[in-house]
Amino acid sequence: MKKVLLLGAGMVAKPLVDYLLNHQIQLTIATRTVEKALKLINGHGNAKAVSWTVDDMQALSLLIADHDLVVSLLPYTYHVAVAKLCVKHQKNMLTTSYVSEKMKALDKAAKEAGIILLNEMGVDPGFDHMTAMRIIDKVRAEGGKVKGFYSLCGALAAPEEADNPFHYKFTWSPRGVIMAGNNSAKYLRNGTIVEVSSNDLFKQPLKIDFPEVGEMEVYSNRDSLSYIDIYGLKNIETMYRGTFRYKNWCEIMDALKILGMLSYDRKSFDGKTYKKAMARELDVYPANMKEKVAERLNLSINSPAIVAMEWLGLFSDDLVKINEGSPFDLTTDRMLKKMMLPQGARDMVIMLHAFLVENADGSRQVIKSRLLDFATAEDTSIARTVGLPAGIAAKMILEGKFSETGVHIPISKTIYEPVLDELQKLGITMKEEWGLPENEML
């Protein structure tokens, strides 16, 4: 029986664990919180949990040596150390995280070891690559050229749960979501490179009507230009990757950034209320803070940003719960307390690919491909759409379905085709529309 070592037992692990155990794969979950792992295993005879922390690399080396495949759900900063041990023991590895330059540097060693280090095997990144490449490869096979490509994704509360002023509830790490809002971005539009500073990230969101959901905002996601080479789109004129949010998110997040409430600068909050902490950021006396913030931002007192900050408690006399940290820590700590998706509530993952294609005969068409996936009674949508692609790929690696060795992401047909076929059977699939008129492009 093939053996998988799963590192981590976090919020997206359950569908992956269920999938592997349902296919009679022997599983060891190594985690700091054994109780979580035992809950995932639920008494299954093919699985066990072991206590392990990331600082014990000697124990990890022994575990890896005793398994056929390692699936790492650890924070991405630990993946390279795990991968080096996988190379040493000639064991395959899979992650759902973005591939780093240090991971790419292991390509030669992984090939020499005869193993695959498969990264970006979740939803975004992962499912987005696979569903995009299936269309791109089909367009090329028909003699066409992709001239423009928008790839947009969001993990959100279902519409009935978007009931706070942010219209957002966290289904995974709040810190990770908010940290992404401090990124800068870069994309190509109509042949011109557009660079967006971190300060401007939320200032001019795209407005897109998503069927069955409504009007959404989209802000640009990191470096879209790198995907021109990744997807082989040499002569493309527009390349844009973005993140979906409900209406008003961008105004609220932009306001928090302007006020310094997403800054990483370390400060003492000892004895401070939220109102006084914010007053210090604005360098004002902590009275009538709501009015002062509205004036500083040049916004109405009833604007979405002011309403959201008041609801979050940033103008309150509550004591800050952390003695030392950053305004980012303060803000995310407050969000963590007020904005987690409740147990049993529905989340959703939405995705949209929009292609402008020049056909072989010179005519043009727009292709749109959409995912709208909701939580099931058993699992959140984000857990399903991250965990199931990883679980399917893990099973296929164990079965020898992939011949690739080295460092990879799922952009080759030999990887994405069988994984997408299996996901479709599990109800995760994109709805494609071909032959739309050019004015349908975003």
For the four alpha carbons of 317, 322, 324 and 328, in that order, the dihedral sign comes to negative
Instruction: Quote the longest CA-to-CA distance of the chain.
Output: 71
Buried b (16+ CB within 10 A) or exposed e, 23-39: eebbbbbbbeebebbbe
Residue partners of 107: CB distance under 8 A and separation at least 6: 117, 406, 407
Q: Which long-range contacts (CB under 8 A, 24 or more apart) does 76-80 make?
A: 76/100, 78/54, 79/103, 79/119, 80/106
What is d(CA 48, CA 59) in angstroms, rounded to the nearest whole number?
Answer: 16
Rounded to 5 degrees, φ, ψ at 135 are -70, -45
Alpha helix stretches (DSSP H) within 8-144: 13-22, 34-41, 57-65, 79-89, 101-104, 107-113, 127-141
CA nearest to 408, candidates 420, 400, 416: 416
Please name every residue paired with 324 in a beta bridge, in sequence order, or none if there are none.
268
Burial of 297 (0-12, 13-18, 19+ CB in 10 A): middle
Q: Is there a contact between 358 and 145 (Cβ–Cβ < 8 Å)?
A: yes
Residue 27 in tokens: 């599983």
Q: What angle do CA 142, 143, 146 make, to 5 degrees?
A: 100
Which one is catalytic: 18, 56, 107, 124? 124
Please name every residue paired with 347 in a beta bridge, in sequence order, or none if there are none.
157
What is d(CA 245, CA 167) in angstroms, rounded to the nearest whole number?
Answer: 8
Residue partners of 231: CB distance under 8 A and separation at least 6: 132, 133, 136, 149, 411
Active site residue 254: no
Alpha helix stretches (DSSP H) within 231-326: 249-258, 274-282, 289-297, 304-312
Rounded to 5 degrees, φ, ψ at 320 are -65, 135
* Residue numbers annotated as active site: 124
